[in-house]
Amino acid sequence: MPMERKKILIVDDEVRMRKIVSDFLVREGYQIFEAGDGEEALIQFAEQQPDLLILDVMMPRMDGWQVCREIRKQSNVPIIMVTARSEEIDELTGFDLGADEYIAKPFSPRILVARVNALLRRAFGNAEESRSYGMVRVNRAAREVQVQGRKVELTYKEFELLCYMMDNAGMALTRGQILNHVWNYDYYGDERTVDTHVKTLRNKLGNAADYIRTVRGIGYKFEQ
């Protein structure tokens, strides 16, 4: 079941698209706010503090890439990028900026709702107790990460990726396995999405970056 009364900000310059998505999400019990361009989106984000954003890429005044970049400077709220363009470079750009999901138009509103439900369920659902591995300490309930006592700010997907690799420390994980578990089984993204997130996660882990080891021809392994 979705997280009731969670707040979602829909950002799209197409009124019809906003209404379609809004109608489906309202029926799921979510509280919806809308913005028609990037500048309005930042204002609404500051005022409403939504729990999730559905963000169109191609918009007037300020595009979705810029909005995502600005929001990531202050928040790790889950972001679903939506665009009419389906080029691989666009998807990788979104993930580089910290987006958690990427959906190309046209899409099924039911699929979008399923993605929203999954993101919020994992972001706000019951979490395990904190655990440590070497220099890294993860508090799942608070969704906090520390490396040698220094707090590390991770996006939603980076946090999920780190937890999955820590849960399977010492095991060589394929990119397909990581996609299935971190992006859910219904995600059909390019496996280079994993490489992009591993790169940014390593950068943020600092002295613990070497814990994520590349296993040639397979994927990655988390170990000291």
Together in a domain, 105 and 209: no
Reading the chain (224 residues) residue by residue, the pLDDT tens digits are 444 578 999 999 999 999 999 999 998 889 999 999 999 999 999 999 999 999 999 888 899 989 999 998 888 899 998 887 665 566 667 777 788 888 888 888 888 888 888 788 777 765 556 778 889 999 887 888 999 989 999 988 899 999 989 888 888 999 888 988 887 655 555 678 889 999 999 999 999 999 999 999 889 999 88
Tell me how many domains the chain contains.
2
- Tell me, yes or no, if the pTM score tops 0.75: no
Together in a domain, 109 and 54: yes
Together in a domain, 32 and 55: yes
Q: Tell me what pLDDT residue 2 has.
A: 45
Q: Are 136 and 210 in contact (CB under 8 A)?
A: no
Which tokens hold the place of 33? 């706010």
Domain span holding position 204 = 131-222
> Of 76, 106, 124, which closes a domain?
124
Together in a domain, 88 and 26: yes
Q: Tell me what pLDDT residue 191 has.
A: 76
Please write the tens of the pLDDT for every residue from 145-194.
999 989 999 988 899 999 989 888 888 999 888 988 887 655 555 678 88
CA diameter of the chain: 52
Q: Tell me what pLDDT residue 129 has.
A: 63
Together in a domain, 168 and 113: no
In angstroms, rounded to a whole number, what is the distance separating the alpha carbons of residues 97 and 173?
A: 24
Q: Are 187 and 122 in contact (CB under 8 A)?
A: no
Of the candidates 202, 191, 217, 10, the residue with the CA atom closest to the CA atom of residue 91: 191
Together in a domain, 119 and 12: yes
In angstroms, rounded to a whole number, what is the distance separating the alpha carbons of residues 182 and 105?
A: 23
Is residue 52 situated within a structural domain? yes
Please write the tens of the pLDDT for every residue from 124-136.
765 556 778 889 9
Is residue 79 situated within a structural domain? yes
> Of 105, 124, 143, which closes a domain?
124
